[in-house]
Structure 1
Amino acid sequence: MKKIAYVLESETALFRAVKLHRGGGDSIAPIYDLIGGRVIEMIRFDEKHWLFFDEDALRDGLTAFTIFDGCPKPLAGNIVLIGGDGGQLYRSPLITIADAAARFQCCRPVLDPVFVTTDDMTSKGLILAGALASLQVRIDRRPPMLEESRYHDNHGSIQ
């Protein structure tokens, strides 16, 4: 029986099913391969599922992150959802990818330009209408984009 995992890529907001290859038995190596990090953190998604993610993915220069409604801190990088209740190392998720996606928000910081208007004056009395005055920061939030038609292997190839 093929084991799959759901992988959410914070950068692209793509959420897809991926076939897990067995390393040596029920190895956790395929999960490390999907995440691409050296230090993995694991938290409960619910009583029958786990989330794995790169503990060091929140770093300077972050361009995207993910909010999971069961976690107080943002997550970044690839996030892997697998089934498991402690009895096995991992198994395929028991929920649909759409149900899992409902618990995530993919976020991206956005800089919005603020332009000088004809009512604005500089200290010398000049009006520079249309000039860039500043940048305002906001967080764009959206649900993950689902790709559930086919499974991918750990290297992204479609199976």
Structure 2
Amino acid sequence: MENFVYLLDSDTATFRAAELCDRNSIAAISDLIGSDLIQMIRFDDMHSLFVDEEGLRAGLTSFTIFDGYPTPLAGKIALLGGDGSQPYCSPTITMTEAARRFQCCRPVFDPVFVPADQMGQKGLVVAGAVETLHARIDRRTPLLVRDGATMKFEIRETNRIALFTSVR
């Protein structure tokens, strides 16, 4: 590929190189991301990120944390070389270096079961019933996809919060 970008998909937590057909066209970047409304964010002095401006919306099933950026990003993210003053070019850093700055996140629900020795209303023991659900955010570094093969997977951190508790 002569002109390529790194494309991060938060839904699948994959990071891969993709061909950029026209490096002078924002429409080509929009097509890769799958959005007509895109935002440019500085990755560093030599690179830019393009993200779906409307990616954060109700019903979100995944999102991405970009190191040093104050809010989560959603949808596909394209990393290109250049700062916008000239036509964009292929990234000059490796995919591995770029992937270290991202965490792909998804909400996960863990059931908490009633212990066997716990009594419910009217003395009824409901062992194995779901007492509550705990929500946590599963954070992963992106899987690197090269030539159809995935490389490197690591769970970084998990944050837990209580979602709801049953009333007795």
TM-score range, shorter chain: 0.7 to 0.9
* CA drift at 1:97: 0.5
Once the two structures are overlaid, the 10-residue window that deviates more, 81-90 or 100-109, is 81-90
**SS of equivalent to 1:34:** helix
**SS of equivalent to 1:66:** strand
* 1:116 matched to 2:114: yes
Counterpart contact for 1:114–1:134, Cα < 8 Å: yes
- Partner of 1:13 in structure 2? 13
Higher relative contact order (CA 8 A, sep 6+): 1
TM norm structure 2: 0.83
* CA drift at 1:86: 3.2
Counterpart contact for 1:97–1:148, Cα < 8 Å: no
Counterpart contact for 2:33–2:52, Cα < 8 Å: yes
- Alignment of structure 1 residues 1-159 onto 2, 5 Å: 2-22=2-22, 26-149=24-147
* CA drift at 1:60: 1.1
Counterpart contact for 1:28–1:89, Cα < 8 Å: no
**SS of equivalent to 2:6:** strand
Q: Deviations over 1:41-64 (max 9, x none)?
A: 111000000001101111111111
Letter in 1 for 2:81: G
- Partner of 1:157 in structure 2? none
Letter in 2 for 1:79: I
Figure out how many residues of one structure are paired with residues of the other and give that number. 148
Q: Deviations over 1:3-62 (max 9, x none)?
A: 11000001001100011102xx71111100011112111110000000011011111111
Q: Between the two proteins, what is the percent identity of the paired residues?
A: 59
Q: Deviations over 1:75-133 (max 9, x none)?
A: 11100000003331311001000100000011110000010102322232211010111
Output the aligned Cα RMSD: 1.5
> Structure 1 86/37 Cα, relative in aligned 2: closer, same or farther at 3 Å?
closer
TM norm structure 1: 0.88
The unaligned stretches of length 5 or more in structure 1 are 151-159
Letter in 1 for 2:13: A
Counterpart contact for 2:17–2:146, Cα < 8 Å: yes
The unaligned stretches of length 5 or more in structure 2 are 149-168
CA distance in 2, matches of 1:95, 1:52: 16
